[in-house]
Amino acid sequence: MCLAIPALVKSIKGNEADAEIGGISRRVSLLLTPEAKVGDYVLLHTGYAISVIDQEEAAETLNIFEQMAELAANEEE
Amino acid sequence: MKFIDEYRRSDLAQAVIRRIHQNSTKRARFMEFCGGHTVTIMKHGIRQLLPLTIEMLSGPGCPVCVTDNADLDKAIALAKVPGAILTTFGDMLKVPGSCSSLQEAKAEGADVRMVYSTMDALQIARENAARPVIFLGIGFETTAPTIAASVLQAKQEGIGNYYVLSLHKLCPPVIRALLHSGEVKLHGLICPGHVSAIIGSRPWEFIARDYRIPCVVSGFEPLDVLQSIDMLVSQVETDDSRVEIAYRRGVRAEGNQRALELMYQVFEPCPARWRGMGAVPDSGLKLRREFEHFDAELAFDFDPGPTLEPKGCICGDLLRGIKTPRDCQLFAKVCTPASPVGPCMVSSEGSCAAYYHYGDGTSSEQGEQ
């Protein structure tokens, strides 16, 4: 029930945004994330953005996984 | 989809699983609090991929499952108030109360409408100004701010026919109650990612400090959960107990202050009843006095009738982590998703539904695969 999915903010008007989720456009409330900007990804929960995705942290997390995979590959050699 | 697909890469998952196998030497029992995590774990067969040292246990983190029958009966009775429109998230429709469900009430003529958002419920209120429109407020800290936002919006617009039945619940107090009972011994807790997007990671610190249990806030993709298990293993192996955030792209230590402000502007903590756990102090949210006129419980005269519990259902024990669906005599026989007896089979995030749909690797059919 606490499901939230990433949505790309395409345009903002007042407290509301048009956001894209997997190619589908949806109206999203930014009342809980007034800091969201066009081009941000937000976590969308029941029509409300509850968090702005930190894209640097996202890349860093993936980087950690890549390093683990590299290490595993080296160990196998 | 961006920020989903990358976290499902099997090559990376294999590397994390390998690391967990290499690092885990001590026996450890981890609980995933959140039903969303239970689904990820069951759907991707994560339990079967872990070393034998690690046991995973599902927790009480499903708002639908923990709503007790007395509260469900209130919602069903409110749906039958003459002229009323009861709006609810779809998850709640099929959940059986003592004698009925919202779906059955709808079949009998009650106007029960499924909505995706409180914004939709408000729109129904605007379009039906002569009728009371009641929103069934279910959910944890992730959802409660969105209900608070709708109440503030209704107040601002002067929408006088919008009401909320607040059955919201707060997560940290119930974990405290669970650990305090001593019924279940844990060596690590996977903390709910989207609850933490709102409250931050700090409200979990008492678990690491007072109970010496490692905590990791996790996202919901398989790589997120594996990373969290890996981080828990590292803490267990070094006898550490801290709160860490694995889900760094979505969660900050301080949470979402704006959402918390709105939530506590409209609601205040109150005792709440949890299925299987009874009353837990300060684990619910009620409308503050200033917003009392939005409170459906105060606004209407309704009779939920006597509370009855389904015979043989062990949902309460599952939610406390002391039994699994395999221990239930009704599981997959009398109780199925098409004809559920208890809420853990109804909710898509209930542990019974997850076991039913994905299996846990212990049944004979799966053993042969």
Q: Please compute the mean of the pLDDT values over residues A56-71 and round it to a whole number.
A: 95
- Here the tokens at position B50 are 């872990």
The type of residue at B166 is: S
ipTM for this model: 0.97
Q: Are B208 and B243 in contact (CB under 8 A)?
A: yes
What pLDDT does residue B363 have?
Answer: 54
pLDDT single digits (tens) B93-104: 999 999 999 999
Would the CB atoms of B63 and A22 count as touching at under 8 Å? no
CA nearest to A55 within chain B = B249
State the residue for tokens 């709440």: B272
Chain A positions touching B252 (Cβ under 8 A) are 54
Q: How far apart are CA B312 and CA A20, in angstroms?
A: 46
Hey, what CATH class is B65-170+255-299 in? alpha beta
CA nearest to B20 within chain A = A68
pLDDT > 90? residue B367: no
Chain A positions touching B119 (Cβ under 8 A) are 29, 47
Backbone angles phi and psi of B75, in degrees to 5: -65, -45
What's the CATH number for B5-17+24-64+171-245? 3.40.50.11750
Would the CB atoms of A4 and B194 count as touching at under 8 Å? yes
| Chain A contact for B117 (CB, 8 A cutoff) | yes
pLDDT > 80? residue B361: no
Q: Are B247 and B224 in contact (CB under 8 A)?
A: yes
Would the CB atoms of A46 and B143 count as touching at under 8 Å? yes
Burial class from Cβ neighbours inside 10 Å (0-12, 13-18, 19+) for residue B142 reads buried
What pLDDT does residue B358 have?
Answer: 92
Measuring CA to CA, which residue among B58, B99, B59, B55 is closest to residue B75? B99
Nearest to B117 among A3, A46, A65 (CB): A46
User: What is the domain partition of chain B in residue ranges?
Assistant: 5-17+24-64+171-245, 65-170+255-299, 315-359
Would the CB atoms of A53 and B3 count as touching at under 8 Å? yes
Beta bridge partners of B29: B55
Would the CB atoms of B258 and A2 count as touching at under 8 Å? no
Percent of chain B with pLDDT over 90: 93
Q: Are B7 and A60 in contact (CB under 8 A)?
A: no
| Chain B contact for A26 (CB, 8 A cutoff) | no
Mean pLDDT of all residues in chain B?
Answer: 95
pLDDT single digits (tens) B220-262: 999 999 999 999 999 999 999 999 999 999 999 999 999 999 9
Measure in Å the smallest separation between the Cα of A37 and chain B Cα atoms: 16
pLDDT > 90? residue B359: no
Q: How far apart are CA B347 and CA B359, in angstroms?
A: 16
What pLDDT does residue B362 have?
Answer: 66
> For chains A and B, what is the number of CB pairs under 8 angstroms?
140
Half-sphere exposure of B269 (CA within 13 A, CB side): 12
What pLDDT does residue B369 have?
Answer: 31
| Chain A contact for B199 (CB, 8 A cutoff) | no
Burial class from Cβ neighbours inside 10 Å (0-12, 13-18, 19+) for residue B206 reads middle
Domains of chain A (ranges; CATH) run: 5-76 (2.30.30.140)
